[in-house]
Amino acid sequence: MIARLFDAVFGCRHSRYSFPVTIRGRSGRPQAAALTGTYVACLECGREFPYDWQEMKVITSSAETRQYATALATKQAV
């Protein structure tokens, strides 16, 4: 809670990202890549974010993460 407040006031804007990285295999995969298999890192603070290759965008909010996970589960169920 305190960390989120501190980040909101003084934190990184995450305006510069690395090139998307895809790691093959399940072992050694960062938490950010668990959702899509691909992630980007903020070049200023180092935080990692999931990246969607089909939409060509970074998934930054928890609402987008839930929406993507729901869509992924629906596609796999069909």
Q: How many CA atoms lie within 13 A of 37 on its CB side?
A: 7
Q: Where are the alpha helices (DSSP H) in the chain?
A: 2-10, 33-36, 62-77
Quick one: pLDDT at residue 76?
61
Q: How many domains does the chain have?
A: 1
- Residue 70 belongs to what domain range? 2-77
Query: What is the largest distance, in Å, between two alpha-carbon atoms of the chain?
Result: 44
- Could you tell me the mean pLDDT of each successive run of 10 residues in the chain, 78 residues long? 73 87 77 83 90 86 73 64
The amino acid at 21: V
Quick one: pLDDT at residue 75?
63
